[in-house]
């Protein structure tokens, strides 16, 4: 996931990096497979529990989808981020939540994501020891 995000950054600067594109394509496919709705229809997530950088997963899908022009990856990234906001987000992932919402805003232009990002950033500042 972190490799995917690094590859996405590299590709934004230089679209001709074949190795970065290959990493992004392979990682996007693997994450999309993990979200197969037929396997887990009631749990639209990659793992059983959330980790500190849980929001990096939908962020990686959205960034990969945007760079690779893959609407299916963008949609899955947005769907998992939406799912997280249906009462499942833990406070310990506020940092990555803000970054994932920034990616969602950059992908969709929907101001909702920008507002959530700013709220998460402010909440993180209010409770730094809890995160």
Contact 96, 55 (CB under 8 A): yes
Which 3 state secondary structure label does DSSP give 122? helix
Contact 82, 123 (CB under 8 A): no
CA dist 98 and 70 (Å) reads: 23
> For residue 98, what are its two tokens?
């803000």
**Per-residue pLDDT tens digits for 50-98:** 566 778 888 999 999 999 999 999 998 998 888 877 766 556 677 788 8
Contact 98, 120 (CB under 8 A): yes
**Per-residue pLDDT tens digits for 94-125:** 778 888 999 999 999 999 999 988 988 887 77
Contact 80, 45 (CB under 8 A): yes
For position 87, what pLDDT does the model report?
61
For position 21, what pLDDT does the model report?
92
CA dist 95 and 116 (Å) reads: 12
């Amino acid at each position: 996931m972190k490799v995917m995000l690094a590859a996405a950054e590299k590709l934004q600067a230089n679209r001709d990096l074949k190795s970065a594109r290959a990493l992004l394509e392979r990682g996007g496919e693997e994450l999309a497979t993990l979200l197969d709705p037929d396997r887990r229809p009631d749990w639209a997530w990659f793992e059983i529990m959330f980790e500190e950088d849980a929001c990096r997963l939908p962020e990686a899908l959205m960034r990969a989808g945007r760079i690779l022009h893959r609407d299916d990856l963008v949609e899955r990234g947005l769907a998992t981020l939406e799912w997280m906001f249906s009462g499942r987000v833990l406070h310990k992932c506020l940092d990555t939540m803000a970054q994932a919402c920034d990616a969602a805003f950059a992908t969709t232009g929907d101001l909702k994501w920008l507002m959530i990002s700013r709220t998460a950033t402010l909440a993180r500042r209010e409770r730094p020891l809890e995160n």
